[in-house]
A and B are shown apart, each in its own frame.
Chain A
Amino acid sequence: MSVLTSGPLRNVTDDHFAWHRHSLKERVIRFLSFLTVGVVLVWTLGTIDVFWPWVWTAPEEIHDMFSRMMPPNYRTIPEIVPVLIETINIATIGTIFAVVISLPVAYLGARNVSPNVITLAVARVIIVASRSINTLIWALLFVAILGPGPLAGVLAIAFRSVGFMGKLVGESIEEIDWGPIEALQSSGSARGHIITYAVVPQIIPSFWAVAILRWDINIRESTVLGMVGAGGIGMLFQVAIDLFRWNTVSMVLVSIIVVVLFGEVVTAIVRRKLI
């Protein structure tokens, strides 16, 4: 201020001199972004189909539910452990199936190595369809076809994971170094040899990373498969909810958290060892 009032700049108005963090263009963009977000949220709040009296009583209701859940019923642990193991098995086998199927899909879906446009398109369609349909919806379908049980869960996990792994592994194939491939081509190697000696070694680290990541996700996903009859702990959860056995519900929730944390720990260890 003292510079403005007494120094050589005393005739400059405050407004011209004021410091701004953002340029005018940035400020306009920021203002428009905030305006858009605000308008969208107001529209949403105004039109969403919600019965507002239930909203105001929600804190009490949620508190009431949690107080019914306390304490967790530890006597249900012998029932829970076998289905928890089944949950892990579903996630693991499903991931293994997905790994096996996703490798050719990834290869065909990578723009730089796919043999031709048709294989590329087919692989892309498989990836998009698999990724866009949730595990639970796949599970609904397989339960309808195969009947309830862990097999439907394994297939649901596998079908959802193929797209995920195919996309990520395919992206890492698209980024490989072309040198080794040219070296093998120049020595007259067959396509199979090029794949095993030039493509595969380059994508192995990212392949393991993706497979482990997907296994971790699949442990979470397989905890709910049972709710549509596809095996695992979800069925126990659904039954306990339907029978209002709140203490069992909380025990199931605790065990879900434990199994997910177990998955995270295993993932972290394997990741450190392998990559």
Chain B
Amino acid sequence: MTRPADGSSVGTHYAWKRPHFIENPFVRFGLLTLAIGYLLYAMSSLEVDLQRIARGIPRAIQIFSGAIPPNFAARGSLIVSGFIESIQITLLATAAGVLLSIPFGFAAARNISILPFYGLGRAIIIVARSLHPVVLGVLFVKAVGFGAFAGVLTLVIYTLGFVGKLLAEAVEEIKYGQIEALKSAGAGYFTVLAYAVVPQIMPRLIGLTMYQLDINLRASAVIGLVGAGGIGNTLNSAFGRYDYGTASAILLVMIGIILVVETISGKLRRFTK
């Protein structure tokens, strides 16, 4: 028979109990009450309209019976050209976005940047990261018109937010040995950047680029829903024309392409490490 850790004797009735996740009972029950209260309030704000759902069920049946089997043939050429456009948008935006995020990422790294640049770089990256690509897509479609160019601009900003932030973090984690060696040999600021900082972050940057290619391809499928080009446009038209067979074909091809790209980008990332 084991005894409790404090050594007190409780006789043979002592039974082991799992330790609680939060030790203090007041905090535990307080948090639990808060959580349940919030849940009840949030669920009540959902406005579940049972009649509307009842009317929706036949619609769901109609949608799914239209979607199965998927119809690849009817709009085959549109599906192909939509995906090609999505891939083009992804490639251009990733290339331009990564190039753009290099100066911003360096500016937003506390250890090598000066304060005004640091603040500016951080602020721009935070704004770029906070806005969903669809929001950016709507803005750019309004600014430069429908089509692939708005999509490219959208994903460039999206890439800047993601790669810029992670690049800045990578720069903040570099080792200082090389920098000190170069400085002691009298190298200037940009020489130090090129020969001591860049080689240290290059593997990470290539890995991030591969990852971003994957993310951008996924995003390019949705920004088309708001008119920014690519397969999303085709999907939106298919939904709009109640052509659910084509829509489900597009979704299936999308799943396939994303799986393939995910595998390739994962392989390349492992290779560059």
Please list the residues of chain A having a beta carbon within 8 angstroms of any beta carbon in chain B: 37, 40-41, 44-45, 47-51, 54-55, 57-58, 61-62, 64-65, 86, 89, 92-93, 96, 128-129, 132-134, 136-137, 140-141, 144-147, 149-151, 154, 220-221, 223-224, 227-228, 234, 237-238, 241, 249, 253, 256-257, 260-261
Please list the residues of chain B having a beta carbon within 8 angstroms of any beta carbon in chain A: 38-39, 42-43, 45-49, 52-53, 55-57, 59-60, 63, 85, 88-89, 91-92, 95, 126-127, 129-132, 134-135, 138-140, 142-145, 147-149, 152-153, 218-219, 221-222, 225-226, 229, 235, 239, 251, 254-255, 258-259
Which chain B positions have C-beta within 8 A of A150? 45-47
Alpha-carbon distance A228/B132, docked complex (angstroms) = 14
Which chain B positions have C-beta within 8 A of A257? 126-127, 130-131
Alpha-carbon distance A95/B127, docked complex (angstroms) = 24
Alpha-carbon distance A69/B153, docked complex (angstroms) = 19
Known: A96-B39, A146-B52, A224-B132. A48 touches B138 (CB 8 A): no
Q: Which one, B53, B92, B254, contacts A132 given CB within 8 A?
A: B254
Closest to A274 in B: B21
Which chain B positions have C-beta within 8 A of A64? 143
Q: Is the CB of B144 within 8 A of A237?
A: no
Is chain B's interface secondary structure helix, strand, loop, or mixed overall? helix
Q: Is the CB of A65 within 8 A of B63?
A: no
Alpha-carbon distance A147/B56, docked complex (angstroms) = 7
Q: Is the CB of A44 within 8 A of B92?
A: yes
13 contacts between A and B (CB under 8 A): A50-B152, A64-B143, A93-B42, A129-B255, A132-B251, A134-B222, A145-B59, A146-B53, A234-B135, A256-B135, A257-B126, A257-B131, A260-B130
Alpha-carbon distance A141/B248, docked complex (angstroms) = 11
Closest to A261 in B: B130
Q: Is the CB of A151 within 8 A of B138?
A: no
